[in-house]
């Protein structure tokens, strides 16, 4: 009978295991080179910083380019707005010049129409042709009246309207005094007669009305 206790048996088995087991394979595993590892990490960190600086420089360049582009775009917008304003102003001036030429034509037509309306045939001369003359003059007057109305409609479509003068107080903003009258039945500085029509376009004077003003 053996006298070894269980503890002795365990110690004997452990000793036998340690003697029989080869631990060389455990130490044969290559251990990492910490110096090389830290060196690689430092190099990587430096490279990341360099790329970060380069990326930031690129972003700054792009930001500057965008700012420059915005400034150039705003300058272009401002210049286009000014050019458009100049173009609109030129168009308004051209339109007003063209409309004044129309008004000259209107004056001639109106003068002819008034002359036709004031015509009275002579009773003693050309008695045999008087009816035909009267009809001819009447037809000419009708044609003149139609032409005048057409021209007035064309002017109104272009926002041009005649200035109401006769019987109104004189207004230096829209009228020019050409003649002076003296009518005690009328108030002082009232327009007695319109010598040439004046016109407004968009509530602005296109042409002053030439009038005869009462002066007591």
pLDDT tens digit sequence for 124-183 = 555 555 677 778 888 888 888 999 999 999 999 999 999 999 999 999 999 999 999 999
Q: What is the mean pLDDT of the chain?
A: 85
Q: What is the rounded distance in angstroms from the CA atom of residue 154 to the CA atom of residue 102?
A: 10
pLDDT tens digit sequence for 50-72 = 888 888 888 888 989 999 999 99
- Is the pLDDT assigned to residue 211 strictly greater than 70? yes
Q: What is the rounded distance in angstroms from the CA atom of residue 44 to the CA atom of residue 25?
A: 34
The CB density around residue 73, as the number of other CB atoms within 10 Å, is 10
pTM, whole model, 2 decimals?
0.60
Residue 149 burial (10 A CB sphere; 0-12, 13-18, 19+): exposed
């Amino acid at each position: 009978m053996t006298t070894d206790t269980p503890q002795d048996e365990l110690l004997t088995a452990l000793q036998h295991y340690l003697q029989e087991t080869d631990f060389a394979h455990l130490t044969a595993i290559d251990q990492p080179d910490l110096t090389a590892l830290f060196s690689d990490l430092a190099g990587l960190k430096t490279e990341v910083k360099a790329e970060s600086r380069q990326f930031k420089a690129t972003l700054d360049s792009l930001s500057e380019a965008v700012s420059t582009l915005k400034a150039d775009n705003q300058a272009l917008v401002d210049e286009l707005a000014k050019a458009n304003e100049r173009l609109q102003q030129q168009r308004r001036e051209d339109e007003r010049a063209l409309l004044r030429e129309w008004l000259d034509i209107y004056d001639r037509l109106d003068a002819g129409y008034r002359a036709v309306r004031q015509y009275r045939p002579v009773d003693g001369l050309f008695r045999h042709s008087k009816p035909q003359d009267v009809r001819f003059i009447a037809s000419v007057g009708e044609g003149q009246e139609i032409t005048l109305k057409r021209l007035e409609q064309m002017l109104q479509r272009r926002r041009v309207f005649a200035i109401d003068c006769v019987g109104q107080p004189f207004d230096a903003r829209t009228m020019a005094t050409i003649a002076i009258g003296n009518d005690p039945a009328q108030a002082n500085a009232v327009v007695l007669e319109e010598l040439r029509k004046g016109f407004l376009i968009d509530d602005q004077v296109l042409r002053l009305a030439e009038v005869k003003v009462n002066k007591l």
